[in-house]
A and B are shown apart, each in its own frame.
Chain A
């Protein structure tokens, strides 16, 4: 079967994910672009005897190598790996979104242009003469609508046609007006350099004139510094003659070219403005209030489904104790741990060899369990985020909160990773990519692990049940309060230390029109992110579970033991017992808390089960009282657990995002320091009060 490789390019919000999903269905491979952490999606479809491979290029506004995404897209297009490029135009804002396809046509010949959201544009009274556009651009122009599926098979036909018979004979020529003489002289200099054979020379010349640093480097490497210096000379001359920013002139010529085509081929019948709903978010008071309200209600709902909290607490406070227990029993995490406990029991009772039985039930099933425990929550968080993102609500919320977040050196875009981190820090750390500057991204990666995730909520709730006189809500409240306060303070300090030139972190964000989410796309985005979590974090969590099993099941003499208090981990914890002295937790059983903290590195909620196991108590409350913790100590431990160190999965996420051992270590040291400072302060504060 003949294979065709098709790259899909489009600006953000033009409906690229939707089209990609429509074309490939669920057969999608997710990988990273070589050497970077930007996700690469690939999908396949079979059509009329062809196997078509679709590569989803990152959403970019242009191809100036301004961002990592633009560099990836540009070098992929230049690599020639794609047989055909599908360039997307948003039919509702055609002039703006034609900018990228025009840039592509200047450097690539086999292109199919797709007008997305065609039905929506029709409703707005916008009509496009596709044939005329085809004539002017020299490549097929196809209209599609994801909602109705209109135009998809026609698009596939055109892709095959272009792959087989070629697109344009030459590259698109945009009239650059006063820049033309300079473009021509650069081009003639470059044509003397054989190493550039195969490069679209005119495009290259325009880009060099615009001051493209990356391409300048390519030219000086391939053609030597002499040609490069000559090009720089022409550029200097152009600056003097034209007298304004050359990149601005080039961009405005491209837009002038676009307008010259669209004025002939696009008709607006009724002058219906797109709806302005959602501008309420721009209000400086209503915006943040509404945004935070939305985020909170979303997460409270997710919390209730996952752990029963806070509905169970509210119900029991109102006197409906039975109903509260019912809610808790039906929560996803409880259902999950019940069924996994049953499975572990089954393994233990059916495997004769005690070492193997323990390995299978505690190591393997336990390891799988610690991944699965996260799944429902991550799934829900991703689902909700996909909906908020797909409807266009998220960017509005980012604008809404930006006045607040800018105080601690973060742009409004930070709402996104902060919110996910409340579910799980791992996707939160990945979500820091939404930030505008690399400095802000780094600050987010280092501080996001302080945001309490669901696992830490579970530990806080368990500790709350062990309190004797203090109210459980106080512990949960203090845990979240100190976590968010440390997050804010650290960000503020880092921001001040980094001394960036910009007075406030800048927002530069397109806000797409609000629209109804498309079920298929939401599902697809959700599932993709969940798979990403399983692949990235799951393997690390699983491997470390096996290692932990060994530490807990083997004595220092490397013989198998069922008594965890005789294990390597226990000896290590006894050695590290002074770690909890700051909370005046001393005595023979202090090491159990240290043991729990060590185990909690796999995933924070493992603290609960490991403390129960080594103390030999039937329940967590019994375990805590057998260790003899006072209420202030329980609160201090709760706050400490919330902050003390990112779990292994988060640490691995930090490493894979920063690719720096130093920064990963910094985040660990940082969180331990913050944890000690905050929890000892709270401990003595409660003692004094």
Chain B
């Protein structure tokens, strides 16, 4: 388990928990909710993190990413 801002680019993650108010509903609407699987397209350690979720790319600020707990999904 780690927060999304620490996820490695190219890895696949499953969202475990999102902590926040208001804006979390926007994440839900975009398909980012507990249980859903996302691919980390870009994470350079600074600047936004780009995820691919349900076929579309979403850029998230690091502050938002820090509040999202994920676990890495091994490809198999």
Contacts and interface: CB of A to CB of B under 8 A. Distances in A.
Contacts, number: 128
A66 B21 CA distance: 11
Given A255-B31, A399-B48, A245 B58 contact: no
A252 B35 contact: yes
A502 B61 CA distance: 10
Contacts of A287: 47
A509 B58 CA distance: 6
Given A62-B25, A64-B25, A255-B33, A92 B55 contact: yes
Interface stretch (A181-189, A222-230, A276-284): A276-284
B29 A403 contact: no
Given A66-B22, A93-B56, A255-B31, A504 B42 contact: no
A505 to B, nearest CB: 7
Given A284-B47, A503-B63, A504-B61, A251 B29 contact: yes
B24 A279 contact: no
Contacts of A244: 34
B26 A511 contact: no
A406 B63 CA distance: 11
Nearest to A211: B25
Given A62-B29, A66-B25, A255-B31, A282 B44 contact: yes
Contacts of A508: 23, 26-27, 58-61, 64
Given A62-B29, A403-B46, A511 B57 contact: yes
Contacts of B35: 252
B55 A96 contact: yes
B41 interface: yes
A64 B47 contact: no
Contacts of A245: 18, 24, 34
Contacts of A96: 30-31, 53-56
A284 B62 CA distance: 13
Contacts of B46: 284, 403
A402 B56 contact: no
Interface residues on A, range: 35 or more
A505 B62 CA distance: 10
Interface string A279-314: 100111001000000000000000000000000000
Given A95-B55, A96-B55, A507 B33 contact: no
B30 to A, nearest CB: 6
Contact of A505 (B41, B58, B61): B61
Interface in A202-258: 244-245, 247-248, 251-252, 255
B11 interface: no
Contacts of B50: 279, 282, 399, 511
B33 to A, nearest CB: 5
Contacts of A62: 25, 28-29
Contacts of B27: 508
Contacts of B29: 61-62, 64, 66, 99-100, 251
Interface string A340-383: 00000000000000000000000000000000000000000000
B30 A506 contact: no
A274 B44 contact: no
A93 B63 contact: no
A308 B50 CA distance: 40
A411 interface: yes
Contacts of A248: 18, 24, 28, 33-34
B59 A279 contact: no
A505 B55 CA distance: 26
A688 to B, nearest CB: 40
A395 B50 CA distance: 12
Contacts of A511: 50, 56-59
A15 to B, nearest CB: 13
Contacts of A406: 61
Interface in A383-400: 395, 398-399
Contacts of B58: 508-511
B54 A504 contact: no
B42 A279 contact: yes
A506 B23 contact: yes
Contacts of A64: 25, 29
A310 B21 CA distance: 49
A513 B56 CA distance: 8
Interface of A: 61-62, 64, 66, 92-93, 95-96, 99-100, 244-245, 247-248, 251-252, 255, 274, 276, 279, 282-284, 287, 395, 398-399, 402-403, 406, 411-412, 502-513
Given A251-B25, A507-B59, 7 more contacts: A251-B29, A399-B47, A412-B59, A510-B30, A510-B56, A510-B57, A510-B58
Interface of B: 18, 22-31, 33-36, 41-42, 44-48, 50, 53-64
Shortest beta-carbon contacts, A-B, top 7: A282-B42, A61-B29, A506-B61, A251-B28, A96-B54, A93-B55, A62-B29
15 contacts: A62-B28, A66-B25, A96-B30, A248-B33, A252-B33, A252-B36, A282-B42, A282-B50, A283-B42, A402-B48, A406-B61, A502-B63, A506-B60, A508-B58, A510-B59
